[in-house]
Amino acid sequence: MTRKLFGTDGVRGTANSYPMTAEMALKLGAAAGRHFRSDGSNGHRVVIGKDTRLSGYMIETALTAGLTSTGMNVLLLGPVPTPAVGFLTRSMRADLGIMISASHNAHQDNGIKFFGPDGFKLSDTDEAAIERIVAGEIALAQPANIGRAKRIDDAGGRYVEYAKTTLARGTQLNGLRIVLDCANGAAHRVAPQLLWELGADVIAIGTSPNGLNINLECGSTYPRACAAKVLETGADLGITLDGDADRVILIDERGQIADGDQIMALFARRWAEAGRLNDGVLVATVMSNLGLENFLTGHGLRMERTAVGDRYVVERMRQGGWNLGGEQSGHIVMSDYATTGDGMIAALQFLAAMVETGKPASMLARCFDPVPQMLKNLRYAPGVDLLSAVQVQAAIEDAKTRLLGRGRLLIRKSGTEPLVRVMAECEDEGLLSEIVNGIIAEMEAVA
């Protein structure tokens, strides 16, 4: 096997194309089963959740076959949010958790995310071990030791009950009208139920998945659908999730969007005031706005930056013993409550702030003025290395010189899609536009 399977968030690709084929899912399941059942004993178990993509049926079945072939017992959760898999892996004492999802991507993509018995995403070491097993001969279980599969019908309900415990006892959402966009994804049942049980008046959209409409003009990557509904219904808040509900973008009562940076700013300030923010540190990625960093500094707090990807945020949080982090895209990681980003639990914490302060969303969701930021993506064909072209490198070096002492430039390849992302920040919006568009133009000439 010549290509690396695992990216920044498990294995991901276009359904029915390498590596997202039934054959590879079977091998991955068998390899993961062998890795986590290395002692050869029976009784090992794995939980599998998924979102609503059509290809999820194929991948779920193939993974189950691979896992049971190596003696693992499989507990099928059905459509549940990614954070629910992390929670239920621990709760059900499983050796492994698997989420079948390509998160915010369109329906034609899918992915396989692995969680260890502690509910955290697998380490690079475990992923490398599984990949080595995939590349070799996989030892199968003896006939009497083949695993069993069982469907868990109340998995969503278990997650709902847990999510409610993250609020102070007695907290109610009575009187709050909330537009909830579930992106036709994994949370289309549990998220409306959760808010309804807490007393909210819920106006749910994006709750009619058909296998092909996940993230389609809805959810956190298309928040204007939720914003329009908030204004139409006079709602107090809009909550937009992505396809697997591990990220959230909020909409205030005026229809204004609050991204992950604004949400983290609010939580960091509130937690620091309550003495809950460990060491006064927030962990964010290189994509987070300079305005967030300036806001934290002004409140005597500190930002730790990581590479892009919520797994890197979580790793840094665990290394430093810090309990709050996330991404501008809406992954909010609160290790006091969850092992990964959790869109609904983050939304609940924001709602709790509204209830406790009596303030409208618009007063809570705009903690700082962001430094002007421009982000553009360019899709490239397989085998094309845009960043090595001489003219592209020259444009990048020129941009760095022009931004020196005035802003910053970040260029990176996506870990989940064939995209190059060009992001710059600068108070001079004219210069900002020149720099980003100039680099994109040079890349387009190469692509």
β-bridge partners, 237: 178
Catalytic residue among 103, 288, 329, 335: 103
**What is the rounded distance in angstroms from the CA atom of residue 409 to the CA atom of residue 391?**
17
Which strand (E) or helix (H) includes residue 421?
A: strand 419-426
Residue 118 sits at the vertex; the CA angle it makes with 116 and 123, to the nearest 5 degrees, is 45
Residue 5 · residue 11 · CB < 8 Å: yes
Run of H or E residues at 131: helix 124-135
Neighbours of 254 (CB within 10 A): 12
d(CA 141, CA 378): 46
Return all residues near 142 (Cβ < 8 A) that are at least 6 apart: none
Is the Cβ–Cβ distance between 407 and 430 less than 8 Å?
A: no
Q: Which amino acid type is present at position 85?
A: V
What count of Cα atoms within 13 Å lies in the side-chain half-sphere of residue 295?
22
Dihedral pair phi/psi, residue 100, rounded to 5°: -100, 105
User: Is 103 considered catalytic here?
Assistant: yes
To 10 degrees, what angle do helices 22-36 and 124-135 make? 120
**Of how many residues is the chain composed?**
447
What is the b/e burial string over 388-424, where b = at least 16 CB atoms within 10 angstroms of the residue's CB? ebeebeebbeebeebbeeebebebeeebbbeebbbbb
Identity of residue 55: S
User: What is the distance between the alpha carbons of residues 141 and 160, in angstroms, rounded to a whole number?
Assistant: 36
What residues are annotated to the active site?
A: 103
